[in-house]
């Protein structure tokens, strides 16, 4: 893992380095031929996925009007999970490798029609971009929608969990916490990849032009002493939405999961023996190079109902091509799965959604929370349009739901990060 930046992010919305020779020449070009540069203005340019693009950020910051509520990751003091594919549990402040779920272990995961949920939507904005070409740089004004690299949903039950009740699919304390992305065009998709044809299921193979989707989700199906390894799971779901729709959800799903309940029973959400403390499901993208190739998806979650410290992590390949296409972060506490509705009584929750388009590595001293990227110099005089712009939205391509009523949201954005907070009651 890069020691300076958690993810290698040099791309249209989040490049972190300036080639000095090119930068100086570009500045001179701008100062002496500004009218020519602005004459090159255009909308929505198409860049190769492997293009070398240097973006210069603004010097003005949108300061949050109110303080963001603390989430569990603000308090975590731990190293990063190991930089390898697998499943991990935080034990005595160290990430321990644990078995991931096998295909035989997994239960069916449906994707019924979408419902609405609060989310953060990245929005288009104007700016200047410097494209590194031989012999040096050209300057363009363009419209950019900055993709996200990090998103999280935090849930804190502010009512008394011992007197509240909840059920999903007629099962007590069954629910899910989902951090969901938007659907997007699957750039890696081609005939038979990443999903091969399944015998007996027509249209089960991926094709060029398919749509992708990613979920970072915790699902709890059963609690108490009878809980088995399949009764809770934390997963990264890579989904070919086109295949799922064409096969009535019989194909198109590639989950990478771990079972927190594998060794011990988990606590219920509500009622006798309920666990206290907030929960958080974090998803982020990590790319080893300046292109979007061979990227990794991570989910890191604080689950107060699980045994041990409650911190779990999973990494999986970005097989659908989320990197560079993540424009919406949304989610909440919902039914456990299969389109179920979570039915709450006597419940109130504080919910926080976060999104970053560019960030530097957290440190064990500051908590498991990234810091928005610093503004580079000497471009601050005129490169002031590349900050993240976002708005609250109602979008969440999942089939589960709840009976909660949401209060109005509070949303605040800095240059490269946004957070949204609201309360929910039944």
pLDDT tens for the chain, 426 residues: list them.
222 222 333 223 333 333 333 333 343 333 333 333 323 333 333 323 333 333 333 333 344 556 788 888 888 877 778 778 899 999 888 889 998 888 777 755 454 444 556 889 888 876 655 555 544 556 666 677 888 999 999 999 999 988 888 888 788 888 889 999 999 999 999 999 999 999 999 999 999 999 999 999 998 888 765 556 668 889 999 999 999 999 988 899 999 999 888 777 788 889 888 888 899 999 999 888 767 788 999 999 999 988 777 899 999 999 999 999 999 999 888 888 878 888 888 999 999 999 998 877 666 666 677 777 766 544 443 344 446 788 887 766 677 888 888 898 888 888 788 999 999 998
Domain count within the chain: 1
Structure confidence at residue 271 (pLDDT): 87
Cβ density class 367-376: b for 16+ within 10 Å, e for less: bbbbebbebb
The pLDDT score that the predictor gives to residue 185 is 96
> Is residue 235 one of the residues assigned to a domain?
yes
382 occurs within a structural domain: no
Q: Is residue 169 in a domain?
A: yes
C-alpha–C-alpha distance, residues 12 and 146, integer Å? 8
Hey, is 57 helix, strand or coil?
A: coil
Give the residue numbers spanning the domain of 169: 62-124+145-194+203-368+387-425
pLDDT of residue 297: 95
Q: Is the sign of the CA dihedral 374, 379, 384, 387 positive or negative? A: negative
- Rounded CA gap, 2 and 16, in Å? 13
- Going by their DSSP bridges, the two strands 401-402 and 341-345 should be labelled as parallel
Q: What does the DSSP assignment read for 178-191?
A: EEE---EE-TT-BT
Give the C-alpha distances (Å, rounded to integers) separating 66 from 62, 410, 414: 12, 9, 12
- The reported pLDDT for the residue numbered 341 is 86
Q: Tell me, what DSSP letter sits at residue 234?
A: E
Query: Quick one: pLDDT at residue 130?
Result: 56
Domain presence at residue 291? yes
Question: Cβ distance 168 to 336 under 8 Å?
Answer: yes
Do the domain assignments include residue 377? no
Looking at residue 303, what is its pLDDT? 93
Residue 373 lies in a domain: no
- pLDDT for 256 equals 92
Structural domain includes residue 55: no
Establish if 54 belongs to a structural domain: no
Q: What is the DSSP letter of 149?
A: S
């Amino acid at each position: 893992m890069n020691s300076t930046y958690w993810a290698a992010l040099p791309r249209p919305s989040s490049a972190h380095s300036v080639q000095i020779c090119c930068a100086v020449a570009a500045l001179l070009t701008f100062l002496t031929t500004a009218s020519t540069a602005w004459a090159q203005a255009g909308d929505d340019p198409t860049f190769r996925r492997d293009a070398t693009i240097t973006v210069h950020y603004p010097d003005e910051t949108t300061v949050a009007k109110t303080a963001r509520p603390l989430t569990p990751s603000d308090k975590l003091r731990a190293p990063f999970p190991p930089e390898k594919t697998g499943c991990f549990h935080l034990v005595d402040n160290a990430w321990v490798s644990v078995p991931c779920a096998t295909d035989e272990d997994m239960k069916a995961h449906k994707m019924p029609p979408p419902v609405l949920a609060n989310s953060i939507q990245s929005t288009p904005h104007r700016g200047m971009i410097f494209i590194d070409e031989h012999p040096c740089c050209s300057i363009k004004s363009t419209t950019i929608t900055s993709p996200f690299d990090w998103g999280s949903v935090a849930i804190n039950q502010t009512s008394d969990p011992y007197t509240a009740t909840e059920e999903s699919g007629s099962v007590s304390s069954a629910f899910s916490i989902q951090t969901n992305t938007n659907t997007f065009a699957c750039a890696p998709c081609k005939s038979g990849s990443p999903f091969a044809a399944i015998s007996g299921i027509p249209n089960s193979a991926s094709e060029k032009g398919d749509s992708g989707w990613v979920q970072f989700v915790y699902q709890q199906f059963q609690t108490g002493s009878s809980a088995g390894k399949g009764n809770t799971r934390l997963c990264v779901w890579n989904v070919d939405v086109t295949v799922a729709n064409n096969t009535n959800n019989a194909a198109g799903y590639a989950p990478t999961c771990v079972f927190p309940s594998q060794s011990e029973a988990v606590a219920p959400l509500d009622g006798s023996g309920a666990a206290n403390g907030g929960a958080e499901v974090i998803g982020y993208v990590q790319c080893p190079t300046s292109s979007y190739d061979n990227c990794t998806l991570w989910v890191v979650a604080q689950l107060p109902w699980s045994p041990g410290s409650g911190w779990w992590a999973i990494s999986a390949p970005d097989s659908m091509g989320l990197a560079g296409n993540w424009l919406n972060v949304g989610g909440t506490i919902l039914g456990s799965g299969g389109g179920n509705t979570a039915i709450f009584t006597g419940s109130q929750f504080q919910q926080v959604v976060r999104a970053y388009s560019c960030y530097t590595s957290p440190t064990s001293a500051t908590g498991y929370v990234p810091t928005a990227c610093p503004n580079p110099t000497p471009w601050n005089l005129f490169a002031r349009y590349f900050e993240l712009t976002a708005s609250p939205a109602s979008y969440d391509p999942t089939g589960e739901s709840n009976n909660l009523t949401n209060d109005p949201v509070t949303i605040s954005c800095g240059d490269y990060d946004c957070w949204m907070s609201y309360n929910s009651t039944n």
